[in-house]
């Protein structure tokens, strides 16, 4: 659910642009399924114990591939990775708690606000105007989000889960912005940074679990559903997805990456409705369509702004 590269570039790579596109689309599919999977897991386990299991397994499975990078990591990489790991801990805490309190459909759609929030946070952090096109997309995306919450009589009803998911989208935007600020101009090993972040999340969720769960209840569920879904989230939604991003994102164009990855909320809604039995009102469908459209508009507006800035700053 936070999107960073993880696995070693030494693993086999495929070079076909079609393979890259299909792989990235598959990432959108598995990420779309993650909201319903996490919601189901939380029916049988406390939030932080589940996150400890998920990230603990991730770190253990990654270590054979990244041990040499971790062993030679610098003090600065541990410092930067530690800060970004705290961001990641906040993101997963908000996102996973949020999905337990709202529908998987709403979670998948509202989290897509990250796309339009990143340029706003970047604009504040780097003191630059994000552009009217992006601001228009932000306004439209908030209108779509409001429609998702409409109940009978056109009453807006933001529940705690929707608010937490919005908080997770904002935390993602801060994470992406400060990743750029903390790593700009520095030679840092991306694999070491990523595994350090996952170690921070594992330690953090372990500490919170011990501090908040009664010792008599501090044990993992024995139920097969918990472990099957936790392994699915670890292997496919974390390791596989991040490896595909690392190896394939450079084998296709940024606009195609945006188009493919922008389908994640659509798959989230499909999984939630087909497998989770969730339903959307016609206002919810309209809000979801507006929200997805606004994120694509926001992505395009940001691409145009960046291209214009590069053209203006390029040497004559």
Query: CB under 8 Å to 137, separation ≥6 — which residues?
Result: 116, 294, 295, 297, 298, 301
pLDDT-above-90 percentage for the chain: 34
* pLDDT mean across residues, the chain: 82
Q: With a cut of 90, say whether residue 50 has pLDDT above it.
A: yes
Tell whether 13 is covered by a domain.
no
- Tell me the C-alpha distance between 2 and 203, whole Å: 17
Q: With a cut of 70, say whether residue 96 has pLDDT above it.
A: yes
Helices 254-261 and 282-313 sit at what angle, rounded to 10 degrees? 160
Give the three-state DSSP class for 107.
helix
* Cβ–Cβ under 8 Å, residues 100 and 47: yes
- Tell me the pLDDT tens digit for each residue of 132-147: 777 787 788 778 777 7
Of the ranges 116-120, 159-163, 251-255, which is most confident?
159-163
Mean pLDDT along residues 239-248: 77
Q: With a cut of 60, say whether residue 11 has pLDDT above it.
A: no
pLDDT of residue 277: 84
Tell whether 36 is covered by a domain.
yes
Instruction: Name the pLDDT band for 36 (thresholds 50, 70, 90).
Output: very high
pLDDT of residue 271: 87
pLDDT of residue 205: 97
- Which domain covers residue 79, as residue numbers? 21-214+227-307
Instruction: Name the pLDDT band for 6 (thresholds 50, 70, 90).
Output: very low
- Tell me the pLDDT tens digit for each residue of 143-159: 877 777 765 555 556 68
Q: With a cut of 80, say whether residue 65 has pLDDT above it.
A: yes
pLDDT of residue 4: 42
Q: With a cut of 70, say whether residue 260 has pLDDT above it.
A: no
pLDDT of residue 87: 93
Tell whether 287 is covered by a domain.
yes
Tell whether 92 is covered by a domain.
yes
Tell whether 96 is covered by a domain.
yes
Tell whether 7 is covered by a domain.
no
- Tell me the C-alpha distance between 129 and 246, whole Å: 30
Instruction: Name the pLDDT band for 289 (thresholds 50, 70, 90).
Output: confident
- Tell me the pLDDT tens digit for each residue of 174-230: 888 888 788 878 888 888 888 999 999 999 999 999 999 988 888 898 889 999 999
Q: With a cut of 70, say whether residue 110 has pLDDT above it.
A: yes
| DSSP conformational letter for 219 | S
Q: With a cut of 70, say whether residue 304 has pLDDT above it.
A: yes
Helices (H), 184-240: 190-212, 224-234
Tell whether 67 is covered by a domain.
yes
Query: CB under 8 Å to 231, separation ≥6 — which residues?
Result: 57
The Cβ of residue 155 has, within 10 Å, a number of other Cβ atoms equal to: 8
Q: With a cut of 70, say whether residue 10 has pLDDT above it.
A: no
Mean pLDDT along residues 281-304: 77
Tell whether 313 is covered by a domain.
no
Task: Provide the number of structural domains found in the chain.
Answer: 1
- SS3 for 263-289 is CHHHHHHHHHHHCCCCCCCHHHHHHHH
pLDDT-above-70 percentage for the chain: 82
Query: CB under 8 Å to 299, separation ≥6 — which residues?
Result: 115, 258, 262
């Amino acid at each position: 659910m936070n999107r960073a590269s993880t696995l070693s570039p030494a693993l086999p790579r495929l070079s076909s642009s079609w393979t890259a596109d299909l792989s990235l689309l598959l990432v959108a599919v598995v990420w779309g399924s993650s909201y319903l999977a996490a919601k189901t897991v939380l029916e049988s386990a406390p939030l932080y114990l589940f996150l400890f299991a998920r990230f603990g397994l991730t770190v253990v499975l990654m270590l054979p591939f990244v041990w040499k990078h971790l062993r030679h990591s610098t003090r600065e990489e541990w410092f930067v990775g530690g800060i970004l790991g705290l961001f990641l801990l906040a993101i997963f805490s908000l996102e996973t708690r949020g999905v337990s309190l709202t529908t998987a459909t709403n979670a998948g759609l509202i989290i897509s606000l990250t796309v339009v929030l990143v340029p706003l946070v970047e604009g504040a952090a780097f003191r630059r105007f994000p552009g009217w096109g992006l601001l228009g997309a932000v306004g439209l995306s908030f209108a779509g989000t409001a429609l998702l919450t409409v109940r009978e009589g056109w009453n807006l009803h933001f529940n705690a889960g929707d608010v937490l998911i919005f908080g997770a989208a904002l935390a993602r935007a801060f994470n992406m912005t400060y990743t750029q600020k903390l790593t700009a101009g520095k030679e840092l090993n991306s694999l070491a940074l990523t595994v350090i972040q996952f170690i921070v999340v594992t330690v953090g969720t372990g500490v919170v679990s011990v501090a908040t769960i009664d010792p008599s209840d501090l044990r993992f569920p024995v139920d097969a559903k918990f472990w099957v879904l936790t392994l699915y989230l670890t292997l496919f939604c974390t390791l596989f997805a991040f490896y595909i991003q690392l190896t394939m994102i450079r084998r296709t164009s940024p606009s195609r990456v945006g188009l493919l990855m922008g389908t994640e909320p659509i798959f989230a809604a499909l999984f939630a409705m087909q497998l989770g039995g969730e339903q959307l009102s016609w206002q919810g469908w309209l809000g979801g369509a507006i929200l997805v459209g606004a994120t694509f508009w926001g992505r395009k507006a940001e691409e145009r702004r960046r291209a214009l800035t590069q053209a203006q700053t390029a040497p004559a």
